[in-house]
Every structure is written in C-alpha cells, then in structure tokens.
Copies of this chain bind each other. A is one copy, B any other.
Amino acid sequence: MDNSDKEFLETYSSESFEKPSVAVDLLIFTIHEGQMKVLLVKRTKSPFKDMLALPGTFVGIRESLDEAVKRVLKVKAGISDELYFEQLFTWGDVDRDPRMRIIAVSYLALVPDKMLVKLLGGSFDEVMYPVSDVVSAAGKLAFDHRKIIEYGRERIKNKTEYTNIAFELLDGPFTLPQLQDIYEILLDRPLYKANFRKKISNLVEETGEQVLEGAHRPSKLYRRKNDL
C-alpha cells in the first residue's frame, strides 16, 4: 500500500463517508399443487412487525454475495444442495428501510417442491406462500418486498420463454404433462400440448418407465437430456 492508498483510506473512512449496509434478499420459488409459491418469513420485530418478508441477511465483510445467498438458503430453508440461483436486481432507494440505509441485492432461487417438502416437512405450508395471494393482498409484505416479488416473477416468466430454466423446478424423472404444467404456471397461459411437446422434445429423453395415476392412459417418464 503506497501513500496515495493511505490518503484514500483516511479520507474515505472519515465520518463524512458514512457507509450504507448491504444485504441479500432471496426469492425462493417453487411450484406446488398448481401454484407458484415463495418462501416468506413472518417478522417478529418492528418495523413491519407481524408482516411477511423475504428471507435475507447482511453481507459479511469477508463474504461474497453468493456466499451470503448460500448461507441464507442453508439457515432459512435448510438447503445445502446445489441449486439454481441468479442475481436479480439491486434495490437502493434511500428510504426502503425506515431504520437505516440498506442496499439489498435480490436473488432468485428455484427449488423443486419435492426437495422443499423433504426439507421442511409439515412446516412447508407455513412458509411457502402462493405468489398470487401475497402480491394481490396489499399491506401484507414488509419493506419493498412486494415489488421485488413481482420483479422476480416477471423475470422467471421471461426466462421461461427463451431458456430451459423451468427444468430447475424438477427433481428426478417427470412426465410431460407435469413439465407442461410448470411451463403454464410460469408463463401464466395455457399451451397447446402438441406444440409444447415438439418444442421440448429435443431436451428430454424417455427413461423407459411409465406412471399410471388414474383411469386413463399412463404417461411416460422422462429425464432431462444432457445439455447440448
């Protein structure tokens, strides 16, 4: 460190350069029983006491953003498996937290519901909220978290159109009707079965197995083909 570095640090560390805090907030999405659901925690303290909020944490001084995200996934949802997550947007409005200046880096994580049910067990329904419910009911969500959820939902929708992100919500073999359900929920519109199958046919391969779940033709099981 040379002299100009020292100078810089002294100037920067002075009181006039008060620093904002940095947090990560997570959108942990899954598809369960025909709905998109998001993990929310009930706040126990003011501000926004008793309201719902996204799980998050402050970013440690020796911790990257991704590490902070993984820490939240582990602590708040018990997830230590590798799973899909991506950075969404960084929210920096001055008054987004009434207590102090907090800049929030939001992340989107997609988790197969099977995995969440296994991890959360009976408390699954207590922490996973249908997205359409929480964004339509005003006043339920703390801070600017409603805006963040809507932003995230829009992002998944768009990425579903031009990527294979939807597969991240599946764990193990699946049927094409199951896959189509996920696409329809993410895109929020019905799809023609035949066209859908044409489109994803080169992404999947049959396992050879079938599942029979009712008085009708059984459906074949597929797995995701090794990405090209």
Contacts and interface: CB of A to CB of B under 8 A. Distances in A.
A58 interface: yes
A12 interface: yes
A45 interface: yes
B64 A93 contact: yes
A89 interface: yes
A58 B41 CA distance: 32
A99 B46 contact: no
Given A5-B47, A87-B90, A99-B1, A19 B22 contact: yes
Q: Which of A8, A19, A20, A61 has the most CB of B within 10 A?
A: A20
Contacts of A62: 94, 101
A89 B66 CA distance: 13
Which 5 residue pairs spanning A and B have beta carbons closest together? Answer: A65-B92, A4-B45, A18-B61, A19-B19, A90-B90
Nearest to A105: B90
A19 B90 contact: no
Contact of A22 (B12, B100, B103): B103
Nearest to A18: B61
Contacts of A99: 1, 5, 8-9
Contacts of A90: 65, 87, 90, 105
A213 interface: no
A171 interface: no
Contacts of A18: 61
A17 interface: yes
A176 interface: no
Contact of A46 (B5, B47, B58): B5
Nearest to A65: B92
A15 to B, nearest CB: 11
B92 A8 contact: no
Contacts of A33: none
A41 to B, nearest CB: 15
A92 B94 CA distance: 20
A3 to B, nearest CB: 9
24 contacts: A1-B46, A1-B99, A2-B46, A4-B46, A8-B99, A12-B21, A17-B58, A19-B21, A19-B22, A20-B22, A22-B22, A22-B92, A22-B103, A59-B92, A59-B103, A61-B101, A62-B101, A63-B94, A64-B92, A64-B93, A87-B90, A90-B105, A92-B105, A103-B105
